[in-house]
Structure 1
Amino acid sequence: MEVRAIIKKWQPGMKAFFSTFPWKNVLALLFFLVLAFIFWLMLFFQKENVEGTYRIPLKYTNIPDDVVFDNPLPPFLEVSVADNGAQIFRLDMRKRDSLEINVTEITEGGNKVLQGNQYEQLIRSQLFPGTNIRGYYPMSISLATSKLQRKELPVVFDGEITTSRANLVADSATFIPEVVMAYGSQQSLDKLKGAVTEYTVFKNLKATSQLPIRINNVGGVKFVPSQVDIYIPIQEYTERTFEVPITVTHMPARLDVKFFPSRANVTFSVTLEAYRKIVPEDFSIELDYRKFHSNEDGRVELELTDRPSSVINPRISPASVEFLFESKTER
């Protein structure tokens, strides 16, 4: 209410102010300002020897895999130019593409430094034909390289894979390609047993996926390729439970054993395809008398001794049972 009262109080004054404001004078002033700018722009376009300085990104291509540069490569070029105003204006408005430096082509014949006429011709490809080059930095680019040793390494995954509910990873993740080439000094390569990926988390995967993943950087070592694809097979799973009897081996002929309970529940995950093919007889919980007969607490841990290879994450409940030995009666 207080804000509305203030607005209501000032509203008549604001209306009176804008109704008496000299809009015609303001519009006339803006018109002359625009006109002055247009005249200035025309004079600028006709002016000769207008200078400008531009930063051009550098892009290095066709670099041999088995070499490393002896000196850091500059990421961009600073060039100072002069031309008439119209051309300078066009350069200002123009989107500058990267200046491509073809390393293999330039270093053919033993040339290790980009400089002189060869360098200027590349720079001119980014300018207009009549534009004068006043100067540029760096004046030269060293493309000297040293030969590297190489070693083939298997790709190793570092990260986590989780699936959405009712889905599981059906098999181990694989890589495309499975091996990469590492280039570096012999000392650096001797320390590497595998090309480890960057730590990556793949969350809530719902279907078989092929995803890009980068190889983790190692100082002084170059991996080719530096990025691979990880193939993660995902299948839809369901959970099932069977009741399995507890049996025992190597029992003395004079003894019987009773377990409490005598059966255990085995819960497991299985693909929908294999769901109907699995029966309780595929599982066994078999205990060895020699391993538990001396347990003083009268309990024994259960262990699943046989199961189909297609089941995943089997669990036994209860995890342990009580046992009691009885002597057999002679007949």
Structure 2
Amino acid sequence: MSAKRDISVLVQRTLRTVRNFLLSPKSREFLIFLFFLVVAFFFWMLQKLNDTYEMELAIPVRMENVPDNVVMTMPPPASVRVQVKDRGTVLINYMLGRSFYPLPLDFGELENESGRIRVESSSFQKMVTSQLMNTTQVGAIRPYAFDIVYTRGKAKRVPVVVQSKVTTEKQYYISEMHVSPDSILVYAPEEILDTLTAVYTKSFACTQVDDTIRRHEILAPVFGAKFVPEGVDVEICTDMYTEKKLEIPIHPVNFPADKMLKTFPSKVSLTFQVGLAHFKSVTENDFLITVTYDELLKCNSDKYRVKLKSFPNNVSYIRIDPPEVDFIIEQVNTFETP
């Protein structure tokens, strides 16, 4: 209570000091001075913005009508830099509120037999000017020229491999992973296609996952190759582990006709973990425990250690109870039919 009272007294004292300062004659003089200073700065800024300045604008470049089998080994630049000159108010408008349409390059009009296209930036002059104010003077456009190198590649369909590191919450596991599309078309020169067996997504990581994840992943680029499409949709499904228990019989294998195996018990309990989605579908028929006649002949005791011969892929942490069973091999009388 004492601390709260001290804080309250301090706040009241501070407010009283501020109020006394604002109501004092010196404070009124300071506020009037500050007001005229702001007004003077505003008019000074207006005057300065009416002066002429120069700046560079970045205007994007876009390649259009490119066939799928054309691979750009040297693509055009993402943008060109345009030197402009105008009043400060106009240039601020370009910087803050103006967006520019991409400068189009029609591949169908520019292609030739050499596989190399030379573009002079001066050819953009009219398109650049049409997007600017009438008072703006356009200077140099850089780069002054650039080359576009391309090749017509063959196509090959290759599978997509997801590069990921996904960890789940406790009691969860990754049940399925779907990739759409699971394969893509790669356009490239024949010497590159011969070495490609798969394409990979860019690596990503997810931690403590307990629900389905859906992501759009871009494919890791391969120099000289073009992917169609350039990305895939990845769906990672999770499921929760649960425990299940089944009784599984022991099956004798390769026993002579006059021999019969008896084990005690005749069945063993299997306890294992399985996802909720597969809980009902996993049954006794999915497991197999066998013992051969030769194994028992080589056994030096009357106990046999149970071995699981087959089980489904979607179960884990299997425990057998009991791990060993008693057994006897009985002689069976056989009678020939006359």
TM-score band, normalised by the shorter chain? 0.7 to 0.9
Paired residue for 2:126, among 111, 121, 124? 121
User: 2:84 aligned with 1:81, yes or no?
Assistant: yes
TM-score, normalised via structure 2 length: 0.72
Q: Within 5 Å, give how 1:103-252 maps onto structure 2.
A: 103-104=106-107, 107=110, 112-115=117-120, 117-160=122-165, 173-201=177-205, 204-206=209-211, 210-232=214-236, 239-252=243-256
Identity %: 21
Unaligned runs of 5+ in 1: none
Tell me which moved more, 291-300 or 188-197. Answer: 291-300
Partner residue, 1:99: 102
User: 2:36 aligned with 1:32, yes or no?
Assistant: yes
Structure 1 residue matching 2:29: 3-state secondary structure:
helix
Inter-CA distance 174–56: structure 2 relative to 1 (3 Å threshold): same
Structure 2 contact 121–143 (Cα < 8 Å) conserved:
no
C-alpha distance in structure 2 between counterparts of 1:126 and 1:272, whole Å: 59
Structure 1 contact 167–206 (Cα < 8 Å) conserved:
no
User: 2:289 aligned with 1:285, yes or no?
Assistant: yes
TM-score, normalised via structure 1 length: 0.73
Unaligned runs of 5+ in 2: none
Structure 1 residue matching 2:291: 3-state secondary structure:
strand
How many matched pairs?
Answer: 321
C-alpha distance in structure 2 between counterparts of 1:205 and 1:11, whole Å: 52
C-alpha distance in structure 1 between counterparts of 2:24 and 2:151, whole Å: 79
Structure 2 contact 71–151 (Cα < 8 Å) conserved:
yes
Structure 2 contact 168–210 (Cα < 8 Å) conserved:
yes
Inter-CA distance 147–260: structure 2 relative to 1 (3 Å threshold): same
C-alpha distance in structure 1 between counterparts of 2:170 and 2:88, whole Å: 66
**Cα displacement string for residues 135-175 of structure 1 (whole angstroms, at most 9, x for unaligned residues):** 232112323323334321112233356666777666x5343
Paired residue for 1:55, among 51, 54, 57? 57
Structure 2 residue matching 1:136: 3-state secondary structure:
strand
Structure 2 residue matching 1:27: 3-state secondary structure:
helix
C-alpha distance in structure 2 between counterparts of 1:239 and 1:153, whole Å: 40
C-alpha distance in structure 2 between counterparts of 1:193 and 1:55, whole Å: 43
Structure 2 contact 118–145 (Cα < 8 Å) conserved:
yes
1:294 positional shift: 1.9
